[in-house]
Structures are given as C-alpha cells and as structure tokens.
C-alpha cells in the first residue's frame, strides 16, 4: 500500500461519503478521517424527529458501522479537533499537539449554528439543534405539559415544533419575518404550514422578534419586541447556520459564503477539495454560485471530491433536492425556487394536506414543493434534470393527468 495519505476533516454526510468512495475509486494509500464529534458520522435528519422521540438509538442512525471503516482500512479519529493546516509543509495540526502529514486533503467541515445575540441566551434550558449532543441536551427538558419556545420558523424549527408537540409539550414558534419559511417558499406554502401547525396545537407568532430570554439560572420566559412575554421551560434557537470556514481561511484558501470550489470540488489549492455545507460552488441547474445545506448535496459533491482526489475529473452536476417531514405532511423539494416570479398551485393548499407548488422565472421551471405528492415530485425532478419547462396552465389543472405533463 502507498504511504501517501488523504486526510478527511469532518464528521458529517460529506466526510462519510468521501471516506466510502476513495477505495472504490482506486485510492490505495492511507486514509485518515478526523472528526471533532466523539461518534461516527451519522444521519442528521432523524435528530429532530425519531432520535429526539427516542424511537431510534444513536447506533441506529450511523451512516455506516465501525466495521465498514475497518474493512476499508480507514483510520478514524473521533473527538479530535483540527487547529490548523500548513499547506506548505502539507501537515494538519491537531488540538493535542500532534501533526498529521497529508498528500491530499478533504475539507468536509459542515456548518455551525448561528448564535442568537440577545440577553439570557446563557441560561440553562436555552439550546440549539445541530448535532447529537444538542438533541441529548434538549431531551432533558422534554416532558408532557412542559412549555417550549422555538425561535425561528425555518424547516428545523418547524420540524422540532412538530416533534415536541407529538411528545405532549406546549409549543410556540416565534419568527421575526412576516411568515414562516419566508426565505425559501411561496406565501401559499408558508400559510399551509402555519395552518397545519395550528391545527396540531402549535402557536405560531410571526413578524415579531425576541428581545430577551428571562430567568435566574434556568429559562422561565421569552420577551418579544411587541411587549408580550411567553412562559418557557425550554427555548431552542433555530436561526440558521454558518459555513465552517475558519480552517480554510486561516490556511489562505479562497472563501466567499463557504469554501470556494470548482466543478471538480477543488479549492484554490489543487491538493485540497471541499464538499457539503461548507462548500460554495457554481450550480449548473441554478446558473449561479451558491452553498447548499442538504444531505443530497453533501453526498453527491463528496462523490465528486473523492473522484478528484483519485485523479478522475468528473464535474459535479446534481440537481438539488430536499425533504421535510412534519406530522403527516411529507414535503419533497426539487430545484431551488429563489428568484421565482410565478407560482402555480396544483391541489388545494387551504384544505387537507396534499398539493404541489411549481415555481417559474420568466417561463423557466425552477423548482417544486410537493406535499404528499410523490408523482409531482418525481415528474419535476425529471423535467428539471432535462432542462424542460411544463406548461404552467396545465400544471394547475387537476383534470390533466400528471403523467401527461411530460409530453
């Protein structure tokens, strides 16, 4: 075996996929994975749902078991922080003073939670939701009849609201924007989610920001800008994430809303690749540079990065898609809707829990939000992948069978 080494920094979906892809792509040298978390890479989506509810144990959400890494002769280092990268000497510095030489390097550092800057965030019971340890801490405050306030009405906040409500808690969601999911969906989709959460007993407050979190040692309430105060036993802040780019910046790599990479996942240093939530790339489907926070992007971009590390140059060219489960509403998203100027609704978003919202810009099909509409989701993925735009008038006509829209 070659003594050349690839070092993978990170412990999420992208890190796990780079590690899994290197041997099949032909890498015969050493592989070291370094993760600051004390557990093997695991699936993140279950954290706010089945893992929080206790329906899955930490071992059950591992992306791959320890035996998998051992079988590929991958050296896994858990609970180890990387403190610096010396590109000239090609070494990685670790928090324990050790140094690890590399031939090639993969940055899959992910993202970290955006911290809320208001008085009281240091109180016991004020938490964030990003990793396994976060959910373990949240669980300590979960009990039927207790009161949870979630600051932030994005997907994570709403998924958490649904889970806590199912566990019998009283839940209030506070969103500073005028509607939940305002940054990523059409008003109809936002109103749909506000409606179903209220139907399930969640209080949704929009257009108002928190000004302080109150209590002596433990959280007791949240004060809002409109003068209202909400009693709370638990506060979870879900106001977004920031790409983890400090190592790349300190090493002198190009960074702009993420670590900048080309179509082959290469950074400004050809011996260093980056993939996942931390990486900013030009997406051919969206025709712009962006950073995508999704399991699909992390996995697919990591496969491209692994190929590049092995000298195989195949451009990253995957259509973004996402999902969100809240109560009995399964949302599947294909494409990115930002910049839309027309929305076509198929189905009734005011009643029931099944419809699809199709987004267009100047007649070009951009994306779909399909709620309990798997056929519309699959059709949209195919159309978007092929660069085709359906007739908006036919999309909204339920008398036109969905398969006919492929014509």
Pair 27, 165 in one domain: no
Pair 130, 207 in one domain: yes
CA 353 – CA 328 distance, rounded (Å): 8
The DSSP line for 166-223 is HTT-EEEEEESSSSTTTTTS-HHHHHHHHHHHHHTT-EEEES--EEEEEESSBEEEEE
pLDDT score of 217 more than 60: yes
Number of other residues whose CB lies within 10 A of the CB of residue 169: 21
Query: How, if at all, do strands 288-290 and 126-128 pair?
Result: unpaired
Give the residue-averaged pLDDT of 329-337: 96
Q: Which of 96-100, 283-287, 328-332 has the lowest mean pLDDT?
A: 283-287
Q: Give every CB contact of residue 138 below 8 A, 6+ residues apart in sequence.
A: 52, 127, 129, 234, 236
Asked whether the beta carbons of 396 and 346 are under 8 A apart, the reply is yes
Q: What is the pLDDT of residue 403?
A: 80
Give the residue-averaged pLDDT of 178-201: 97
Give the residue-averaged pLDDT of 372-383: 95
Q: What is the pLDDT of residue 185?
A: 96
Mean of the per-residue pLDDT values of the chain: 96
CA pseudo-torsion sign 160, 163, 165, 169: negative
CA pseudo-torsion sign 372, 377, 378, 379: positive
Distances in Å between the alpha carbon of 79 and those of 84, 91, 95? 16, 19, 10
Q: What is the pLDDT of residue 207?
A: 98
Q: What is the pLDDT of residue 407?
A: 64
Give the residue-averaged pLDDT of 40-61: 95
Pair 233, 277 in one domain: no
Q: What is the pLDDT of residue 147?
A: 98
Which residue matches tokens 């399964």? 330
Domain end, chosen from 261, 280, 309, is at 309
Instruction: Name beta bridge partners: 149.
Output: 172, 235
Give the residue-averaged pLDDT of 291-307: 96
CA 280 – CA 275 distance, rounded (Å): 8
Q: What is the pLDDT of residue 200?
A: 98
Which tens digit of pLDDT belongs to each residue from 384-398? 999 999 989 889 888
Which tens digit of pLDDT belongs to each residue from 107-122? 999 999 999 999 999 9
- Sheet strand arrangement including 354-361: 321-326, 329-335, 364-371, 354-361, 342-348
Domain end, chosen from 213, 237, 261, is at 237
Q: What percent of the chain stands above pLDDT 70?
A: 99
Pair 146, 209 in one domain: yes
Instruction: Name beta bridge partners: 364.
Output: 361
Which residue matches tokens 């092995």? 310
Pair 301, 342 in one domain: no
Residue 284: pLDDT band (50, 70, 90) is confident
Q: What is the pLDDT of residue 3?
A: 82
CA 305 – CA 25 distance, rounded (Å): 11
pLDDT score of 2 more than 80: no
Give the residue-averaged pLDDT of 60-82: 98
Pair 222, 280 in one domain: no
CA 216 – CA 224 distance, rounded (Å): 18
Structural domain that includes position 350 = 328-406
pLDDT score of 1 more than 70: no
Give the residue-averaged pLDDT of 24-47: 97
Pair 200, 154 in one domain: yes
Q: Give every CB contact of residue 23 below 8 A, 6+ residues apart in sequence.
A: 31, 72
Which tens digit of pLDDT belongs to each residue from 197-206? 999 999 999 9
Asked whether the beta carbons of 110 and 14 are under 8 A apart, the reply is yes
Pair 67, 131 in one domain: no
Q: What is the pLDDT of residue 338?
A: 92
CATH number at residue 163: 3.50.50.60
Pair 301, 381 in one domain: no
Q: What is the pLDDT of residue 359?
A: 97
Total count of residues recorded for the chain: 407
Q: Give every CB contact of residue 166 below 8 A, 6+ residues apart in sequence.
A: 53, 327
Number of other residues whose CB lies within 10 A of the CB of residue 225: 12
Q: What is the pLDDT of residue 400?
A: 86
pLDDT score of 140 more than 80: yes
Distances in Å between the alpha carbon of 278 and those of 13, 94, 143? 12, 20, 35
CA angle at 309 for the pair 304 and 313, rounded to the nearest 5°: 55
CA 398 – CA 103 distance, rounded (Å): 57
Q: How many domains does the chain have?
A: 3
Q: What is the pLDDT of residue 404?
A: 80
């Amino acid at each position: 075996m070659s003594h050349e080494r690839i070092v993978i920094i990170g412990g999420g979906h992208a890190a796990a996929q780079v590690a899994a892809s290197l041997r099949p792509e032909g890498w015969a040298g050493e592989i070291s994975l370094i993760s600051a978390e004390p557990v093997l890479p695991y699936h993140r989506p279950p954290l706010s749902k089945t893992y929080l509810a206790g329906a899955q144990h930490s071992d059950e959400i591992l992306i791959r078991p320890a035996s998998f890494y051992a079988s590929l002769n991958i050296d896994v280092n858990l609970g180890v922080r990387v403190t610096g990268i010396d590109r000239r000497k090609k070494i990685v510095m670790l928090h324990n003073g050790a140094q690890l030489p590399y031939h090639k390097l993969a940055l899959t550092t992910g993202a970290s939670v955006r911290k809320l800057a208001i008085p009281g965030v240091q109180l016991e019971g004020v938490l964030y939701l990003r990793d396994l340890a976060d959910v373990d801490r949240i669980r300590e405050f979960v009990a039927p009849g207790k009161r949870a306030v979630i600051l932030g009405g994005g997907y994570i906040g709403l998924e958490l609201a649904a889970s806590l409500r199912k566990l019998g808690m009283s839940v209030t969601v506070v969103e500073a924007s005028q509607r939940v999911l305002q940054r990523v969906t059409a008003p109809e989709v936002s109103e749909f989610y506000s409606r179903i959460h209220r139907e399930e007993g969640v209080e949704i407050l929009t257009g108002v920001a928190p000004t302080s979190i109150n209590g002596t040692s433990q959280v007791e309430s949240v004060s809002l800008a409109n003068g209202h105060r909400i009693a709370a036993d638990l506060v979870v802040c879900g106001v977004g994430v920031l790409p983890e780019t400090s190592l790349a910046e300190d090493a002198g790599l190009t960074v702009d809303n993420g670590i900048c990479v080309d179509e082959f996942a290469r950074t400004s240093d050809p011996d260093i690749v980056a993939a996942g939530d931390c990486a900013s790339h030009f997406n051919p489907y969206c025709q712009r540079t962006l950073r995508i926070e999704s399991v699909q992007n992390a996995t697919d971009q990591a496969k491209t990065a692994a190929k590049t590390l092995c000298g195989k140059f195949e451009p990253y060219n995957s259509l973004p898609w996402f999902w969100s489960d809240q109560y009995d509403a399964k949302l599947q998203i294909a494409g990115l809707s930002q910049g839309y100027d027309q929305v076509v609704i198929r189905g009734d978003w005011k009643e029931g829990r099944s419809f699809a919202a199709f987004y267009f810009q100047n007649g070009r099909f951009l994306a779909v939000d399909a709620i309990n509409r798997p056929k519309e989701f699959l059709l949209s993925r195919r159309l978007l992948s092929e660069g085709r735009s359906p007739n908006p008038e036919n999309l909204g006509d339920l008398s036109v069978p969905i398969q006919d829209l492929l014509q």
